C-alpha cells in the first residue's frame, strides 16, 4: 500500500517560463547579455554539484563568476531573473495533489534544489503550503540519484521503502528509487496522479 507520494519539482510541477514553458535561460543573452553556454561552463559545470548538495552557497559561488563573465549584472538580478522565469506551475497537477491529500495520502516534494530557490518555490510560489513535506538536496546533503537522498526521506517519514512512491521526470532518479526499494514512475503527461498511485499500489 502506498502511504506517501514524493513528487519531483522541475519538469513535473514546475515546467519552465510562465509565459511559454521554455527553459528559463531562453532569452538570457538577449535580456541580460549572458550567453547560457558561458554560464553553464563557468558556473553550473564547476560549482553546481556542491551548491545543490549544500556544500557551497549559491551567492558565494555565483557572484565571482558574474564578475568575470558579466560584470554589469549583479548576483541578485540574475537570481531574480532565474527564479522568476523558472516558475510555470502545473496547476492541474496541484489540484490532483490537493485531492489526494484530502483522501489521506501524504504528499511531499522531493527535489534537487539549493537553499535559495527552495525557499522561493516554497514561499513565493506557495508550494510549501500545498504539501505535507518539502525534501530537497541541499538540506539533505545528497541529491537524487544518490541512495542517501532516499534513505533520509524514509527515515524522516518513518515509512518502509515499498510504501513510498516517487514521481520524477528523470529516468535515472526513477531507477535509483526502485533500487532503493521504492515504487517509482517516470513522469510523462497526460498521466493522472491518482492512476499512478492506484497502479503502484496494486
Residue ranges per structural domain of the chain: 4-16+88-201, 28-85
pLDDT (average), residues 178-195: 91
Residue indicated by cell numbers 563557468: 42
C-alpha to C-alpha distances, 57 to 54, 102, 138, 139, nearest whole angstrom: 7, 37, 10, 12
pLDDT > 80? residue 190: no
Share of the chain above pLDDT 90, in %: 95
Pairwise CA distance, residues 91 & 122, whole Å: 15
Share of the chain above pLDDT 70, in %: 100
pLDDT (average), residues 161-187: 97
* Contact partners, residue 66, CB within 8 Å, separation at least 6: 73, 74, 75, 78
69-89 per-position pLDDT tens digit:
999 999 999 999 999 999 999
Mean of all residue pLDDT scores within the chain: 96
Bridge partners of 10, per DSSP, are 14
pLDDT (average), residues 180-198: 91
For residue 201, what pLDDT band results from cuts at 50, 70 and 90? confident
111-130 per-position pLDDT tens digit:
999 999 999 999 999 999 99
pLDDT at 202: 67
> Contact, 2 vs 183, CB < 8 A?
yes
Pairwise CA distance, residues 94 & 23, whole Å: 21
C-alpha to C-alpha distances, 143 to 38, 139, 175, nearest whole angstrom: 24, 10, 14
pLDDT > 80? residue 146: yes
pLDDT at 20: 96
Superfamily of domain 4-16+88-201, CATH level 4: HAD superfamily/HAD-like (3.40.50.1000)
Amino acid at each position: 500500500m502506498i502511504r506517501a507520494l514524493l513528487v519531483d519539482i522541475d519538469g513535473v510541477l514546475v515546467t519552465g517560463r510562465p509565459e511559454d514553458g521554455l527553459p528559463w535561460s531562453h532569452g538570457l543573452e538577449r535580456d541580460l547579455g549572458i550567453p547560457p553556454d558561458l554560464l553553464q561552463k563557468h558556473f553550473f559545470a564547476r560549482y553546481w554539484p556542491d551548491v545543490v548538495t549544500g556544500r557551497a552557497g549559491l551567492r558565494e559561488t555565483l557572484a565571482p563568476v558574474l564578475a568575470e563573465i558579466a560584470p554589469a549584472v549583479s548576483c541578485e538580478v540574475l537570481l531574480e531573473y532565474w527564479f522568476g522565469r523558472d516558475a510555470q506551475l502545473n496547476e492541474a497537477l496541484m489540484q490532483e495533489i490537493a485531492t489526494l491529500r484530502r483522501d489521506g495520502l501524504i504528499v511531499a516534494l522531493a527535489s534537487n534544489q539549493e537553499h535559495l530557490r527552495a525557499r522561493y518555490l516554497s514561499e513565493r510560489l506557495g508550494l510549501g503550503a500545498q504539501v505535507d513535506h518539502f525534501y530537497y538536496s541541499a538540506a539533505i546533503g545528497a541529491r537524487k540519484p544518490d541512495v542517501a537522498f532516499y534513505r533520509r526521506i524514509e527515515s524522516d517519514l518513518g515509512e518502509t521503502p515499498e510504501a513510498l512512491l516517487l514521481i520524477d521526470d528523470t529516468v535515472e532518479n526513477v531507477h535509483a528509487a526502485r533500487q532503493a526499494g521504492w515504487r517509482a514512475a517516470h513522469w510523462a503527461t497526460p498521466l493522472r496522479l491518482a492512476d499512478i498511485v492506484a497502479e503502484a499500489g496494486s
